């Protein structure tokens, strides 16, 4: 089925910065007073990378300005974050656009708190449970459409995918979960093999799936040191929306992504002190950065090849990055002094991401089963009309008592049929008899 997107919308990836609360914030940066959209780092003259990476003070630029679509200050509550960032993303998905929110930042900066939420208080629910709630509320409001939601939850660790929604056996380690792999078809589209798509009829169903996935995520991570900071988790709600009686079906996906920690390790030269280059601990984040750079060069220098295939994460998120998707990045930073270098590199990365343009379109397909149903009905009607026109309309125009009874039952069944696509099939009755 070809995509029949009615409207296409170009737009840059939106970037938001969230600063997590801390009692020992460095005070090195401030949010511009008049407009809450830029963050200025003013490092002290004696600023020295606080993590013992060595002395490179002479090369250090002391003032840095970064611009975002919005900045979420450290005292923001989760419901405000959802209003600022989550609601628009969910609305886009409900309107038929693919939509992605991904959180990027060093370990401990608040990615999981933002995407999933804190475990203790109901008010700390993150973007995933709030999105689920909004989706099913909207579904309930729309009486003229049929809506379906399917949920998947993928964890990628060491470039291997795992299905977090596997209820079939007890999980004790990541290796117990079904392995998910990625396949590329002849059109260059990626497909996930072995990732379950679980129907959710209600908010409760969807929250149970989230809970199951998070439990598997927690169990699987315990025996493996650092796994939670080194893996990516992608929670996806796939939606199908169809207006009653229409052949057309809109399919969209909402991806909510908690990336691996973006911290880097410093490389030291042979003397062991001077940092020459910092490297990501997680190699797929390095590939993500390559993809972002390539996408930028695509728009500025006409570069054609984008190296999505280098990692599973960039392959899975291909549409979210530079494709058919409306995408939002939430950069999370820890305001403490010793994390200044990481905060700076997170902000720098967000600046590069904000230059990427996507082209989202409404994903509308014809549903073959609906088309066949409608055509069959049309053929039936036409056959009856032909029979009538040819004059072989039967013995006469009078219905027998038996036929009347049968018709009554058929009409009653039709009226009581809860399926809006139900048909009134009156079989061999001729049009004259019906009249």
How far apart CA 192 and CA 164 sit, in angstroms, is 14
Of these, 53, 84, 111, 253, which contacts ligand ADP (CB under 6 A)?
Answer: 111
Q: Is 25 in the site for ligand ADP (CB under 6 A)?
A: no
Q: How many CA within 13 A on the CB side of residue 392? A: 6
Instruction: Read off the tokens for 213.
Output: 């996935």
Cβ(222)–Cβ(233) below 8 Å: no
* CA-angle at 347, arms to 341 and 353, nearest 5°: 140
Q: Shortest gap between Cβ of 312 and ligand ADP (angstroms)?
A: 20
Q: What is the dihedral of CA 340, 342, 346, 348, to 10 degrees?
A: 70
Q: Is 5 in the site for ligand ADP (CB under 6 A)?
A: no
Q: Is 242 in the site for ligand ADP (CB under 6 A)?
A: no
Distance of CA 137 to the CA centre of its chain: 18
Q: Is 16 in the site for ligand ADP (CB under 6 A)?
A: no
Of these, 5, 86, 96, 105, which contacts ligand ADP (CB under 6 A)?
Answer: 105
Q: Is 322 in the site for ligand ADP (CB under 6 A)?
A: no
Q: Which of 337, 359, 334, 355 is nearest to 346 (CA)?
A: 334
Q: How many CA within 13 A on the CB side of residue 242? A: 18
> For the sheet containing 29-31, what is the strand order?
29-31, 38-42, 63-67
Cβ(62)–Cβ(46) below 8 Å: no
Of these, 28, 113, 150, 308, which contacts ligand ADP (CB under 6 A)?
Answer: 113
Q: Is 323 in the site for ligand ADP (CB under 6 A)?
A: no
Q: Shortest gap between Cβ of 119 and Mg ion (angstroms)?
A: 12
For 22-66, give the DSSP string. -TTB---EEE-SSSTTEEEEE--TT---TTSS---GGG---EEEE
List the beta bridge partners of residue 148.
240
Instruction: Read off the tokens for 372.
Output: 């066949």
Give which of ligand ADP, Mg ion, none residue 311 binds (C-beta under 5 to 8 Å, depending on kind). Answer: none
* CA-angle at 263, arms to 257 and 267, nearest 5°: 145
- Per-residue string for binding with Mg ion, 102-141, x by CB under 5 A? ---------xx-----------------------------
Q: What number of chain residues touch Mg ion (CB under 5 A)? A: 2
Region near ligand ADP per CB under 6 A, out of 49-57, 110-118, 231-239, 383-391: 110-118
Of these, 5, 86, 96, 110, which contacts ligand ADP (CB under 6 A)?
Answer: 110
Q: Shortest gap between Cβ of 346 and Mg ion (angstroms)?
A: 14
Region near ligand ADP per CB under 6 A, out of 58-66, 85-93, 112-120, 350-358: 112-120
Q: Shortest gap between Cβ of 201 and Mg ion (angstroms)?
A: 30
Region near ligand ADP per CB under 6 A, out of 102-110, 160-168, 205-213, 413-421: 102-110
Buried b (16+ CB within 10 A) or exposed e, 42-60: ebeeebebeeebbeeeeee
Q: Shortest gap between Cβ of 259 and Mg ion (angstroms)?
A: 9
Q: Shortest gap between Cβ of 115 and Mg ion (angstroms)?
A: 8
How far apart CA 324 and CA 357 sit, in angstroms, is 10
Of these, 26, 92, 109, 152, which contacts ligand ADP (CB under 6 A)?
Answer: 109
The phi, psi pair for 325, rounded to 5°, reads: -165, 150
Of these, 14, 112, 282, 340, which contacts ligand ADP (CB under 6 A)?
Answer: 112
CB neighbours of residue 101 within 10 Å: 27
Q: Shortest gap between Cβ of 135 and ligand ADP (angstroms)?
A: 23
- Per-residue string for binding with ligand ADP, 129-168, x by CB under 6 A? ----------------------------------------
Q: What number of chain residues touch ligand ADP (CB under 6 A)? A: 14
Residues 6+ apart with CB under 8 A from 265: 278, 279, 281
Q: Shortest gap between Cβ of 112 and Mg ion (angstroms)?
A: 3
Residue nearest to ligand ADP (CB): 110
Residue number, 112 or 311, with CB nearest to Mg ion: 112
Q: Is 230 in the site for ligand ADP (CB under 6 A)?
A: no
How far apart CA 72 and CA 81 sit, in angstroms, is 7
Which parts of this chain interact with Mg ion (CB under 5 A)?
A: 111-112
> Which residues of the shown chain bind ligand ADP in the complex (CB under 6 A)?
20-21, 105, 107-113, 118, 229, 261, 332
């Amino acid at each position: 089925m070809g995509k029949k997107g009615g409207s296409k919308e170009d737009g840059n990836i939106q970037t938001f910065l969230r600063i997590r609360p801390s009692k020992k914030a460095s005070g090195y940066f401030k949010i511009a007073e008049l407009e809450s959209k830029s963050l200025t780092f003013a490092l002290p003259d004696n600023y020295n990378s606080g993590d013992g990476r060595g002395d490179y003070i002479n090369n250090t630029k002391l003032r840095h300005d970064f611009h975002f679509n919005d900045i979420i200050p450290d005292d923001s509550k989760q419901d405000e974050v959802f209003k600022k960032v989550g609601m628009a993303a969910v609305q886009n998905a409900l309107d038929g656009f693919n939509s992605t929110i991904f959180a990027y930042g060093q370990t401990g900066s608040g990615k999981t708190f933002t995407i999933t939420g804190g475990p203790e208080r109901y008010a700390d629910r993150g973007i995933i449970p709030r999105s689920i709630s909004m989706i099913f509320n909207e579904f309930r409001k729309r009486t003229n459409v049929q809506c379906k939601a399917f949920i998947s939850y993928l964890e990628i660790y060491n470039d291997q995918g795992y299905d977090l929604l596997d209820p079939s056996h007890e999980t004790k380690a990541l290796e117990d979960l079904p392995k998910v792999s990625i396949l590329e078809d002849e059109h260059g589209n990626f497909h996930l093999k072995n990732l379950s798509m679980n129907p959710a009829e209600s908010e409760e169903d969807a929250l149970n799936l989230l809970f199951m996935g998070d439990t598997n995520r927690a169990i699987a991570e315990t025996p493996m040191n650092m796994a939670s900071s080194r893996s990516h988790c992608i929670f996806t709600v796939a939606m199908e929306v169809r207006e009653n009686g229409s052949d057309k079906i809109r399919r969209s996906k909402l991806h909510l992504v908690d990336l691996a920690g973006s911290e880097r390790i410093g490389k030291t030269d042979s003397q062991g002190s001077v940092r020459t280059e910092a490297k990501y601990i997680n190699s797929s984040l390095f590939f993500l950065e390559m993809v972002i750079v390539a996408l930028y060069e695509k728009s500025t220098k006409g570069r054609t090849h984008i190296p999505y295939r280098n990692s599973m994460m960039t392959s899975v998120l291909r549409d979210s990055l530079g494709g058919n998707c409306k995408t939002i990045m939430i950069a999370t930073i820890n305001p403490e002094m010793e994390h200044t270098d990481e905060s700076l590199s997170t902000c720098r990365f967000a600046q590069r991401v904000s230059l990427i343009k996507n082209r989202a379109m409404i994903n509308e397909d014809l549903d073959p089963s609906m088309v066949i149903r409608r055509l069959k009905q049309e053929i039936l009607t036409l056959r009856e009309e032909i029979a009538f026109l040819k004059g072989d309309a039967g013995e006469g125009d009078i219905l027998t008592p038996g036929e009347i009874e049968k018709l009554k039952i058929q009409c009653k069944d039709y009226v009581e049929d809860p399926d809006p696509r139900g048909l009134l099939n009156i079989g061999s009755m001729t049009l004259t008899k019906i009249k």
